[in-house]
Amino acid sequence: MAKQKKQPRPRAQTPKGFRDYFGAEVVARQRMLERIARIYRLYGFEALETSAVETVEALGKFLPDVDRPNAGVFAWQEADVPGGGSGEWLALRYDMTAPLARVFAQHRNALPTPYRRYAMGPVWRNEKPGPGRFRQFYQCDADIVGSASMAADAEICAMLADALEAAGIARGDYLIRINNRKVLSGVLEAVDPAGAVDRDAVLRTIDKFDKVGAEGVAALLGKGRLDASGAYIEGVGLTEAQAAPVLAFLTSRGESAAETLANLRAAVGESAVGAEGIGELEQIAESLAAQGYGADRVVIDPSVVRGLGYYTGPVFEAELTFEITDDKGRKRQFGSVAGGGRYDDLVKRFTGQVVPATGVSIGVDRLLAALEARGQAGAAEARGPVVVTVMDRTEMASYQAMAAELRAAGIRAEVYLGNPRNFGNQLKYADKRAAPVAVIAGEDERARGVVQLKDLALGAKIAENASLEEWKSRPAQFEVPRADLVAGVRRILEGTDG
């Protein structure tokens, strides 16, 4: 009889493009999102939590000529339905906006209009992962559905500024930049009235303005240019006369909103849709100025394009302006952490009727990384619970009573539940948990009605930096009456001498 082959053990590793989040990271994210959510609620927004799974049809991610959904989503087909036929395709949500469009279309008779909602949670994208690019990440969205007023777009931008500041980004370290897709359309009409030019290629070129500047864009709109690696990139093929309105548009940002708007009017020429877009930007600028949001926080910037095709009007991005050092030691600006715009046609896919909508999405992981780069994330959350050590297994109930008292006072606490035989291992465990205090109560302490409190953070500092005399003058371990357990622990947590 053949020997049965031993089943190989599964590999203990995360799938490619995914990652695990541990205690301090999770708490830092939760606290940041709570601060942002408070701002959203101040503006009258209500929380919405949609299903993590949507139909592929609702997501709008189906390729028409193949037998499976777009590779951009994680999708699967349900089992065959009874009576014949194939089941529908389902997918993990790709973003928070498509589910909102479905929800509003499905529940529109029960929802107030306009409908203000915010949503926070993970989204999944079946894309090639890379450095800092994951297949699962968090988004934090806020949208207004059912209002065509530019006051809604202005309110989203004002709220975004407030949210960034509430999260910990100082004023002066960010800038919200606003543009309008209609102005872009007006420029393209001026470039190409007959519609003979590849307009998507022109848009992609405009989107490179931040990286290659006006000279680089001019070359790419024409015959092409050599990139930094020496490779030649083919251009769009516009003549100098055709490229002129695009370059005028990209360089039209002035010292004030009024100057920028005047320059944009010159760039769009006689285009009616371009003039409409400029009028909308003017309304947004007036609304923000009336609310006290000046050019130190929000500006009109024609170089903002936004990649998604469903934007129909104003678009905006929040850019962090401070410098960080990359992996190679080079200084660079942190860049964009949020973006959004108006998408008046998205709900129409379900209802057949135009439903105006506008919103913004904050990249949670990007914003957290920015706070970490500034030393503003994770510091308070790094402290672990107070650890009540175990000197006698038969007294476990009394140790648990100590932990319960600390918890009742709002202090994180746990009882050591490993093997208590080696006390040194208990202290090593407390160090690994980043515990600020260890509570020690053996037979002698119980007999005298006291407990020992060991200030682990102070002990570590003294052990590293202080002499024996300094250790004696400021002991990191002291005893208090058992009845004063909570007060003694609180003194250590608040940083006062024991």
Tens digits of residue pLDDT in 44-99: 999 999 999 999 888 875 443 344 445 688 888 887 766 656 778 899 999 999 99
Residues 196 and 303 in one domain: yes
Show the beta-strand stretches assigned E in 227-355.
232-234, 298-300, 314-325, 331-342
Give the strands of the sheet with 53-55, arranged side by side.
53-55, 89-92, 75-77
**Does residue 15 lie within any of the structural domains?**
no
Residues 392 and 308 in one domain: no
Q: What is the pLDDT of residues 166-176, one digit of tens each?
A: 999 999 999 99
**Does residue 16 lie within any of the structural domains?**
no
Residues 367 and 451 in one domain: no
Average pLDDT of the chain is 86
**Does residue 81 lie within any of the structural domains?**
no
Q: Which of 314, 345, 373 is the last residue of a domain?
A: 373
Containing structural domain, residue 360? 23-52+93-373
Q: What is the pLDDT of residue 230?
A: 76
Residues 369 and 390 in one domain: no
Residues 349 and 406 in one domain: no
Whether this model's pTM surpasses 0.85: no
Residues 108 and 222 in one domain: yes
Q: Which of 373, 392, 411 is the last residue of a domain?
A: 373
| Domain CATH for 452 | 3.40.50.800
What's the rounded mean pLDDT across residues 447-473?
Answer: 72
**Does residue 153 lie within any of the structural domains?**
yes
Residues 408 and 458 in one domain: yes
Q: What is the pLDDT of residue 122?
A: 94
What's the rounded mean pLDDT across residues 284-311?
Answer: 88
Residues 187 and 280 in one domain: yes
Q: What is the pLDDT of residue 465?
A: 60
How far is it, in rounded angstroms, from Cα 340 to Cα 315?
6
Amino acid at 440: I
**Does residue 77 lie within any of the structural domains?**
no
Give the CA distances from residue 336 to residues 32, 40, 127, 149, 481, in Å, rounded to whole numbers and listed in that order: 17, 20, 20, 26, 55
Residues 284 and 427 in one domain: no
Q: Which of 345, 373, 401 is the last residue of a domain?
A: 373
Q: How many structural domains compose the chain? A: 2
Q: What is the pLDDT of residues 90-149, one digit of tens each?
A: 999 999 999 999 999 999 999 999 999 999 999 998 888 877 778 999 999 999 999 999
**Does residue 9 lie within any of the structural domains?**
no
Residues 334 and 407 in one domain: no
Q: What is the pLDDT of residue 474?
A: 55
| Domain CATH for 190 | 3.30.930.10
**Does residue 7 lie within any of the structural domains?**
no
Residues 325 and 354 in one domain: yes
Q: What is the pLDDT of residue 380?
A: 47
Most confident option among 120-129, 149-158, 208-217, 363-372: 149-158
Give a three-class secondary structure readout of the chain.
CCCCCCCCCCCCCCCCCCCCCCHHHHHHHHHHHHHHHHHHHHCCCEECCCCCEEEHHHHCCCCCCCCCCCCCCCEEECCCCCCCCCCCEEEECCCCHHHHHHHHHHHCCCCCCCEEEEEEEEEECCCCCECCECCEEEEEEEEEECCCCHHHHHHHHHHHHHHHHHHCCCCCCEEEEEEEHHHHHHHHHHHCCCCCCCHHHHHHHHCCHHHHHHHHHHHHHCCEEECCCCCEEECCCCCHHHHHHHHHHHCCCCCCHHHHHHHHHHHHCCCHHHHHHHHHHHHHHHHHHHCCCCCCCEEECCCCCCCCCCCCCEEEEEEEEEEEECCCCCEEEEEEEEEEEECCCCCHHHHCCCCCEEEEEEEHHHHHHHHHHCCCCCCHHHCCCEEECCCCHHHHHHHHHHHHHHHHCCCCEEECCCCCCCHHHHHHHHHHCCCCEEEECCHHHHHHCEEEEEEHHHHHHHHHHCCHHHHHHCCCEEEEEHHHHHHHHHHHHCCCCC
How far is it, in rounded angstroms, from Cα 122 to Cα 93?
9
Residues 358 and 402 in one domain: no
Strand partners, 315: 179, 341
**Does residue 314 lie within any of the structural domains?**
yes
Are β-strands 53-55 and 89-92 bridged in parallel, bridged antiparallel, or unpaired? antiparallel
Contact (CB, 8 A) for 22 and 348 = no
